């Protein structure tokens, strides 16, 4: 089954073609970072307008790259939530219009399910059941996954997600949006241990996260250093290192705790923060002690992309799940409400 996938939940326009027999045929991505960087974050109206401009040209691009015709497409999957409502509506209305014109089914896909299943695009894939750490945008979640659509939330961020904390810390240090890659580059030059940042909520039972206190601690450290004048480049690097080490240590501790609690030995990590090299290295080292494996998407599929939506949509369309007559998007959408896919466990 050949599926066209569209991702327009936030500030990246992703399009892909996935074939259930041949795999990923083509994909394309346009990032709006240059549009939003001057505002220090995503402007929803600008994001929606740019999706309108970019989605159709990207669809034409992937069809040409795959060497197929539109008549061969057998279904259209699109991100229906969670995300920015205007951006979601762009993808939903276009996807359903194309599906209607082509006479094929359409299906709205959960954005976080797309991230969770992104490692399935790789040659080496995890087997169910596993623990998933989802660190994307405003989400930081630990989920037990027993199959496609069989999800149990174990813990989540009670305030700022890890990605949001990276963005806000970057702004404190005078770094551009998005903050994660810039913090990581500075941290490479930082002196380990010069600043000792707290690991939030690791001394409490449970698997929830909280990064707002860490953000405040970072701000206090920045202000203390500025009492002697502007931050030096080394101080910026050392603060970035201390912040990144604190986030990484917190995520690693909670992942180990989740695996032990659920008596599992497989972890999947997905979402933009999963591209962080320090986090990958520390997780690999820590989980080796647990005789556990960790799986990631390819770096190009860590951030929002059409390939993950095409894959997730293909699994559900194969199972006979299709949209009804109503076009509906959901800016907030708990994954536990998703229907299971029979035979996918």
Question: CA 94 to CA 272: how far, in whole Å?
Answer: 26
For residue 120, the model assigns a pLDDT of 97
Residue 131 confidence (pLDDT) above 80: yes
Number of C-beta neighbours around residue 294 at 10 A: 22
Chain-centroid distance, C-alpha 128? 20
For residue 343, the model assigns a pLDDT of 63
Q: Would the annotation count 160 as a binding residue?
A: no
Q: Where residue 244 sits, what CATH number does that domain have?
A: 3.30.420.40
Paired with 78 in beta bridges are 6, 108
Q: Is residue 74 part of a domain?
A: yes
Residue 136 confidence (pLDDT) above 90: no
191 and 269, same domain (yes or no): yes
Q: Which of 86-95, 99-108, 134-143, 239-248 has the least mean pLDDT?
A: 134-143
66 within 8 A of 26, measured Cβ to Cβ:
yes
140 and 244, same domain (yes or no): yes
Q: Would the annotation count 265 as a binding residue?
A: no
Q: Would the annotation count 317 as a binding residue?
A: no
Paired with 132 in beta bridges are 143, 268
| pLDDT category of residue 345 using cuts at 50, 70 and 90 | very low
pLDDT tens-digit profile of 5-24?
Answer: 999 999 999 999 999 999 99
Give me the mean pLDDT over the 142-171 stretch: 95
Q: Would the annotation count 86 as a binding residue?
A: no
Q: Would the annotation count 67 as a binding residue?
A: no
Question: CA 280 to CA 285: how far, in whole Å?
Answer: 9
Q: Is residue 84 part of a domain?
A: yes
Number of structural domains (the chain) is 2
Number of C-beta neighbours around residue 334 at 10 A: 12
Q: Is residue 342 part of a domain?
A: no
240 and 280, same domain (yes or no): yes
pTM of the shown model = 0.94
96 contacts: CB under 8 Å, gap ≥ 6: 76, 78, 106, 323, 327
Give me the mean pLDDT over the 165-172 stretch: 94
Residue 144 confidence (pLDDT) above 80: yes
294: its two tokens? 């960790």
Q: Would the annotation count 324 as a binding residue?
A: no
Q: Would the annotation count 304 as a binding residue?
A: yes
Q: Would the annotation count 14 as a binding residue?
A: no
Chain-centroid distance, C-alpha 6? 15
Residue 226 confidence (pLDDT) above 50: yes
Q: Is residue 147 part of a domain?
A: yes
Is residue 27 reached through a cis peptide bond, with omega within 30 degrees of 0 on the bond before it?
no
3 state DSSP class of 232: coil
162 and 279, same domain (yes or no): yes
Q: Would the annotation count 271 as a binding residue?
A: no
3 within 8 A of 73, measured Cβ to Cβ:
yes
128: its two tokens? 């169910």
277 and 144, same domain (yes or no): yes
137 and 113, same domain (yes or no): no
Range of the domain at 100: 2-118+301-337
Which has more pLDDT, 326 or 98? 98
Q: Would the annotation count 138 as a binding residue?
A: yes
pLDDT tens-digit profile of 256-292?
Answer: 999 999 999 999 999 989 999 999 999 999 999 889 9
168 and 100, same domain (yes or no): no
For residue 325, the model assigns a pLDDT of 86
Residue 344 confidence (pLDDT) above 80: no
pLDDT tens-digit profile of 298-314?
Answer: 999 999 999 999 999 99
């Amino acid at each position: 089954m050949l599926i066209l996938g569209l991702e327009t939940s936030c500030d990246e326009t992703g399009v892909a073609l996935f074939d259930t027999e041949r795999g990923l045929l083509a994909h394309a991505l346009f990032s709006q970072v240059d549009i939003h960087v001057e505002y220090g974050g995503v402007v929803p109206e600008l994001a929606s307008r740019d999706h309108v401009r970019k989605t159709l040209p990207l669809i034409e691009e992937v069809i040409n790259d795959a060497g197929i015709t539109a008549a061969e497409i057998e279904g259209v999957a699109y991100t229906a939530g969670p995300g920015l409502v205007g951006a979601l509506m762009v993808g939903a209305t276009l996807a359903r219009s194309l599906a209607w014109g082509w006479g094929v089914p359409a299906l709205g896909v959960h954005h976080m399910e797309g991230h969770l299943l992104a490692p399935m695009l790789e040659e080496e894939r995890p087997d169910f059941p596993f623990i998933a750490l989802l660190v994307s945008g405003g989400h930081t979640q630990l989920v037990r996954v027993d199959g496609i659509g069989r999800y149990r939330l174990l813990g989540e961020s009670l305030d700022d997600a890890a990605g949001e904390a990276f963005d806000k810390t970057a702004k404190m240090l005078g770094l551009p949006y998005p903050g994660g890659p810039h913090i990581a580059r500075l941290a490479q030059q930082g002196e380990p241990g010069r600043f000792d940042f707290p690991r939030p909520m690791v001394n409490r039972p449970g698997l929830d996260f909280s990064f707002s206190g860490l953000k405040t601690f970072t701000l206090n450290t920045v202000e203390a250093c500025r009492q002697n004048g502007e931050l030096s480049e080394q101080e910026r690097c050392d603060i970035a290192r201390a912040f990144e080490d604190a986030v990484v240590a917190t995520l690693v501790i909670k992942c180990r705790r989740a695996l032990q609690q659920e008596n599992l030995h497989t972890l999947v990590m997905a979402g933009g923060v999963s591209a962080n090299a320090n986090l990958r290295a520390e997780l690999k080292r820590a989980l080796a002690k647990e005789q556990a494996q960790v799986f990631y998407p390819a770096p190009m599929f860590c951030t929002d992309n059409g390939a993950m939506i095409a894959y997730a949509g293909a699994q559900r369309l194969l199972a006979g799940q299709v949209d009804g007559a109503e076009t509906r998007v959901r800016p907030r959408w708990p994954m536990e409400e998703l229907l299971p896919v029979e035979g996918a466990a």
